[in-house]
Amino acid sequence: MGWSEMANNGGLSICVFCGASAGDSPVYTQVGYELGKRLAAGNHRLVYGAGGIGVMGAVARGVADNNGSIVGIIPEFLRDREKNDAIPSQKVVVTEDLARRKSIMMDLSDGFVCLPGGYGTLDELLEVISMKAMGIEDRPVVLVNTQGFWESFVELVDGFAGRRFLPEEKPFVIVGSALEAIEYIESPARARLVATME
Ligand code: AMP
């Protein structure tokens, strides 16, 4: 049985990595909110960094406004700066540092969705995909390509692969919408749960 089934009446626990900033277009937070709304509609639990600002806050608001379930993990030193109090319905787990936050987020989740963000988002994304590339991680990782945001990242990865420092096969997929991201995470995770139960 997966984490999600224990925690969420059959839904999944989906970790979202994304920016504490809003970016230069309202579309980033709009897609964040849409993702949150769809997570709640699918009975999935949001696992994220607990912040109430930027794209992070938009995702959490989308879940909270639609009566979804949220667990937010945040180091003590970031609680004021990233305003976890702005999302009162979430269950907050306070950690000593960023590394512990990241490991708890990963432990709790059935899959990972990445929206636009900055260094923190990249750090979290690279942690998961580097483990997938090493073969010690197999949960789905989906990047939502809002306004072509991830194209420069894909170019970087393709460049490294062209020089034979990375495998040709990417340890993540890119999709165009929040809905596609959730559908992608749902399909392999559900197949795995069924396989385990047989
Ligand atoms: P950002 O994508 O930079 O806006 O950050 C998204 C989230 O990642 C925020 O909650 C940041 O506090 C967090 N973050 C920033 N740097 C790191 C890091 N080195 N390791 C883990 N999380 C980080």
Give a yes or no: residue 43 inside a domain.
yes
CA of 89 to the centre of ligand 1 (A): 22
Give a yes or no: residue 99 inside a domain.
yes
Give how many domains the chain has, as a whole number. Answer: 1
- Residues in CB range of 164: below 8 A, 6 or more apart: none
Q: From the CB of 82, is ligand 1 less than 6 Å away?
A: yes
Give a yes or no: residue 136 inside a domain.
yes
Give a yes or no: residue 39 inside a domain.
yes
pLDDT of residue 7: 52
Q: Which atom of ligand 1 is nearest the CA belonging to 117? A: 2
Q: From the CB of 21, is ligand 1 less than 6 Å away?
A: yes
pLDDT of residue 150: 98
Q: Cβ of 138: how many Cβ atoms within 10 Å? A: 11
Q: What is the pLDDT of residues 74-90, one digit of tens each?
A: 999 999 999 999 999 99
Among protein residues, the one whose CA lies closest to atom 22 of ligand 1: 120
Give the residue numbers spanning the domain of 135: 25-197
Residues of the chain with pLDDT under 50: 1-6, 194-198
CA of 121 to the centre of ligand 1 (A): 6
Q: What is the CATH number of the domain that holds 173?
A: 3.40.50.450
pLDDT of residue 10: 75
70, 45 contact by CB (below 8 A): yes
Secondary structure E strands in 33-139: 45-48, 69-75, 91-95, 111-114
